[in-house]
Structure 1
Amino acid sequence: MLGERRNNSKLNQVHFVIAGATSGAVTRAVCQPLDVVKIRFQLQAEPICYHSISKYKSVTQAVILIYNEEGVKAFWKGHIPAQLLSIVYGCAQFGTYELFMKSFGPLFHQQFKPVKNFIGGSIAGGVATVVSFPFDVIRTRLIGQCDKLRAYRSIIHAFVHIYKNENFKAYFRGLTPTIVQVAPHAGSQFMFYKLFDRAYKKVVGIEETRYSATSCLIAGSLSGFCAKLVIYPFDFVRKRMQVQGFQRYRRNFGKGYSYNGMMDAFEKTIKQEGFNGLFKGLTPSLLKAVFTTALHFSTYEFVCQYLEEYN
């Protein structure tokens, strides 16, 4: 079981990294379309409603419009850097979490298990974010660019173009709101996952350290929903900041915006788009969170179980 393997477990840190990478890759491949729709909503300055001049007005309308204008491949735009992001993130996240639980887990009293899981998840999320962040910037820009006025031809071209025309710091634009977001988000995910997993197993009478696919899916989906709802405005601001200096390639998507840091982004969004503007793309984001977190944790647990049985 995540973070609580038996003493005679055959798994080591390499196995946890492999399981994390596999989990990230599988989750990304399946859920990428929801991410594309979510990011398009987040980058749109106009209101998301039918009586507006906005390009995207609802989830259904956005899906149909993207398909009609750009084809089915558009739902996997930026998929290669997104896969690299997910693999690197999964390796770092689960590897760091398991290492933390092994090194510091025994120091926590039984009654402080939720706190232990929150701290371990927060540290793991922070480490994984910093390591994988440049891939997040690249995939956001690839998803956000207009097909008729493309800035980047490929992931390599994007990396080179950003370095030459902006600077190295551009790879980490939006890192501050991301860290502020990811630490409590990842911590909440692990904490809620363990709480829901234990609750389910207690109700159905399953041993706590035993693998259960149903428990993983239920606990994962609920933890993803709860965690995403708490930190969503920071995810929104992160995406807006990642396309700074990139607005001329987004002319077909509506008016642009410019921010001088995280707090300025929050203030201008609320002033120009209202408080609800901070929650643009929340519906597809919650759908994505439910599916991806359930798949993320269940795949990780399954791979660990497989490696333990056949190693």
Structure 2
Amino acid sequence: MSAGGEHLKDEGTKRQTVLAGGIAGLISRFCIAPLDVVKIRLQLQVHSLSDPASHEAVQGPIYKGTLSTMRAIIRQEGITGLWKGNIPAEMMYVCYGALQFTAYRSTTQALAELPYRLPPSAESFVAGAAAGGMATATTYPLDLLRTRFAAQGPEQIYKSLRASIGEIARHEGVAGFFRGSSAAIIQIVPYMGLFFSAYEGFRPIMANMDHMPFGTGDAAAGICASILAKTGVFPLDLVRKRLQVQGPTRTRYVHRNIPEYKGVFRSIRMILRTQGVRGLYRGLTVSLLKAAPASAVTMWTYERVLRILQDMEVAALT
């Protein structure tokens, strides 16, 4: 991205945007997969870490902190355990990245045609929310499959991606692929709105800093925007994960004592009643550790790939 004031939303053709977004999602996902698995395991852990008495009835591992959880997974499941669910996740991130950036570009262009222009921050919020909502709804079944594979311990519940799709369709129906989707939509709209509006605000500031080499101002802006947005909507992300593992296999994941949750707001009330406010923020630390580099890699890769594609097109025309 140039430092001359051009905006992300005005750059690139539709084809370039789709390709750059897809590549950015693919690379980002592979880099942060281990942190994603750790985050999901911590989000699904419902017993209190501060009360040793609560551990007595627990069937399954007790995770404490990001690094110790990572070591426990490697020890019990091997290094590949940190990439469980990576195939559906890669598929989701590629599709999500392409859809997100395409929708963001199209929405901002449509907003620019309105007789009365919104403030730049409002345009970024609306476009980000619309892009996130559409991309989330479209790719949600892959998100659910990613969570279920990542939640598997040494016991193999689903033998393959194809087998998991067949089993869920057979035992839970089409609705089974959309468990927790309401929490995802409620979460993603403010998240993406906050993220893109914050990103557009931080990016010019970071771009003008002389000590940001190799275009890393885009990455730094992505980190700041991600931390701000992620913290605000984290409880909904946790509820989404709890709802995604409901169904006939609920008691077979690495955490055997996942309670039965029904509905977003009923789940929030249940967590508050049984685990307190802290229960809504399990895994927040690793989530921020994951979200920051994921957003940095995504935005940096998107900007670099988009620039390469534009340069290739210019070279082809000359």
TM-score by length of 1: 0.92
Matches within 5 A, 1:8-157: 11-49=12-50, 51=52, 53=55, 55-107=62-114, 112-148=119-155, 150-157=156-163
Which residue of structure 2 lines up, in the alignment, with residue 8 of structure 1? none
Aligned 8 A contact 1:28 1:83 in 2: yes
Cα shift at 1:225: 0.7
Identity, in percent, stands at 32
Q: What is the rounded CA distance, in whole Å, between the counterparts of 1:259 and 1:270 in structure 2?
A: 13
Letter in 2 for 1:89: Y
Q: Counterpart in 2 of 1:191?
A: 197
Structure 2 stretches of 5 or more lacking a match? 1-6, 56-60, 314-318
State which of 169, 176, 201 in structure 1 corresponds to 2:175. 169
Cα-to-partner distance string for 1:5-53 (whole Å, 9 max, x where unaligned) = 3xxxxx3111100011001000001000000000000111112458462
Distance in 1 between residues matched to 2:239 and 2:131, nearest whole Å: 22
> In structure 1, what is the equivalent of residue 9 of structure 2?
3
The answer to whether the 8 Å contact 1:185/1:231 transfers is: yes
Amino acid at match of 1:174: G
Structure 1 contact 38–281 (Cα < 8 Å) conserved: yes
Partner of 2:228: 226
Task: List per-residue Cα deviations over 1:111-150 (Å, max 9, x = no partner).
Answer: 71011000000000000001100000001001112322x2
> How many Å apart are 1:271 and its aligned residue?
0.8
Aligned CA RMSD, in angstroms, stands at 2.0
**Residues 125 and 238 of structure 1, relative CA distance in 2, 3 Å threshold:** same
Q: CA deviation at 1:88?
A: 0.8
| Change in CA separation of 1:200 and 1:162 when aligned onto 2, cut-off 3 Å | same
Q: CA deviation at 1:198?
A: 1.5
Distance 1:160 1:310, change over 3 A: same
Contact 2:88–2:146 (8 Å) recurs in 1: yes
Cα distance between partner residues in 1 of 2:176 and 2:123: 34
Which is worse superposed, 217-226 or 46-55?
A: 46-55
**Residue in structure 1 matched with residue 279 of structure 2 by the alignment:** 277
For residues 181-210 of structure 1, give each alpha carbon's deviation from its aligned partner in whole angstroms, at most 9, with x where no partner exists. Answer: 00110111111111000122345599xxxx
Distance 2:218 2:207 in 1: 10
Kept in 2, the 8 Å contact 1:46–1:254? The answer is no
Q: Which residue number corresponds to residue 252 of structure 2?
A: 249
Q: Is the 8 A contact 1:48 1:280 kept in 2?
A: no
Q: How many residues align?
A: 300
Q: CA deviation at 1:253?
A: 2.1
Aligned to 2:299: 297
Q: Secondary structure at the match of 1:46?
A: coil
Q: Distance in 1 between the 2:251 and 2:47 partners?
A: 17
Secondary structure of residue in 2 paired with 1:253? coil
Runs of 4+ with >6 A deviation:
108-111
Supply the AA of the counterpart residue of 1:135: L
Match of residue 316 from structure 2: none
Distance 1:154 1:268 in 2: 33
Amino acid in the other structure paired with 1:283:
T
Q: 1:217-251 deviations in whole A, cap 9, x for unaligned?
A: 1101111111101100000000000000122212x
Structure 1, gaps ≥5 residues long = 6-10
